[in-house]
Amino acid sequence: MPSNYTADRQPGVLRSLDWWTIGIYIALLTFGWVSVCGASYTYGDTEIFSLSTRSGMQIVWIGTSICLGFVLLMMDDRFYDTFAYVIYGLLVLLLFATIFNPHSIKGSRSWLVMGPLRLQPAEFAKFATALAIAKFMSAYGFTIKNWKHFAGACGIIFLPMLCIVGQRETGSALVYFSFFLMLYREGMSGAFLFTGLAMVIYFVVGIKYEEILLWDTPTSLGKFVVLLLVQIFSSVMVWVYVGDKGRTRLLLTYVFGVTGLALLFSEFVIPFDVVWIQLVLSACVIGYLVYNAMNTRFANYFYIALFALGSIAFFYSADYVLNDVMQPHQRVRINVLLGLDEDLAGAGYNVHQSEIAIGSGGLQGKGFLNGTQTKLKFVPEQDTDFIFCTVGEEEGFLGSASVLVLFLFLILRLMYLADRQPFKFGRVYGYCVAGIFLFHLFINVGMVLGLTPVIGIPLPFFSYGGSSLWGFTLLLFIFLRIDAGRNLIRQ
């Protein structure tokens, strides 16, 4: 190796670093510490920098995170590509071993306790999974249109998910669905994302309006609307994915015609449950699609039929799981989210108190350390999962909006950096990082505002704790190092 290689390499890395992203990272760490300080502060406490306080310990986590980021930047960017599978394998083994961890914290076995130090392997498995899937998808000959290749990519995503679910840490497992945003960017059919969105619609509409009767008939409004949506979605997909407007019009005509006649008959002649007619009509639609698949040899008809059948199976299985499989406290949480129950003293207490805290902040907030809801500890987990309510109370709408804008800049910047990567490995990893940050932001803020389920995931760089802060730092700075190496001259 030439003697001037080391001398040329280090300044090149520093010059190639994206300092805008590092600036946003430092700003988020600063705002995060201020929020942890406000959330953990007790009236009369003057030792906010003491290591015996949460705010003092957060300074330690921030300092070690910055050191970790520096170490990651000093490493050769090719290290992450070369050892991606090794890192992934070690983290998956650690996740699996954690399932049998004797230490249970709040019903979860996701923490490794080593004296005073507690680590959550699920936070570190995110970057390992991102590296592994980037390595897999950047291999020669990979194409996401190939079912075997696509199944392999999904397997890399779902394996750590299963281990995390085994630790009873469902919230952290759901984060791995963010990888599908990257898959969509890399050419995955939008039908997969639409199917996921449709499932959410079926669940919310079906469960929320299941007990409401349609007009004067014994027909469940929730079930009726879900089945009608399945038929409409399936008919429109014939137009979108097959390009046959004629068959789409035919299907919609029969769907609305038969449904309308059944409703009128049930309303004015003999009351009966129109859902049974809807089920028969759905079966006819599925049969018609299968017939066209066999007659035209066009596989898309079969996939649409599979979508319709899967939609109906999902809805009825979700209803069964909610009412007969889930634990009572889990069922109550979902009912509270859907507005079926209030339970302000139980499952809805956290969200209700966080909404009060955010609302009390007004436009400009109450000021640093002046929040009443948070200082009097009305909001549980206010310095971890619900820390955004501290931002809303002390900094108000303007402070909350500023934080969200910073996160928006970070995510958009990451997407820009991902698009400029010369190799697929860097691009895929970059979009994985952006997707993870977006998922955490959307779910955490939505959770605090009562818009999404309370699943207990941290707000990046804000929530108290070392594991999450180190995990997000690993995600971000590995990508920054990969990006910095894009223009280096290899000798």
* Mean pLDDT across the chain: 88
Measured distance CA(134)–CA(436) in Å, rounded: 14
Could you tell me the pLDDT band of residue 3, with boundaries at 50, 70 and 90?
very low
pLDDT at 10 over 50: no
What is this structure's pTM? 0.87
Q: So what's the pLDDT on residue 16?
A: 85
Q: So what's the pLDDT on residue 9?
A: 42
Average pLDDT of span 368-381: 78
The one-letter amino acid at 204: V
Which has more confidence, 97 or 113?
A: 97
CA-nearest of 36, 86, 30 to 465 is 36
Q: So what's the pLDDT on residue 378?
A: 76
Measured distance CA(174)–CA(446) in Å, rounded: 15
- The per-residue pLDDT for range 12-62, each reduced to its tens digit, is 677 889 999 999 999 999 999 999 998 887 766 667 878 888 889 999 999
Q: Find the helix packing angle between 466-484 and 121-137, rounded to 10°.
A: 20
Could you tell me the pLDDT band of residue 276, with boundaries at 50, 70 and 90?
very high
**37, 47 contact by CB (below 8 A):** no
Which has more confidence, 335 or 455?
A: 455
Could you tell me the pLDDT band of residue 5, with boundaries at 50, 70 and 90?
very low
**398, 413 contact by CB (below 8 A):** no
Measured distance CA(309)–CA(283) in Å, rounded: 8
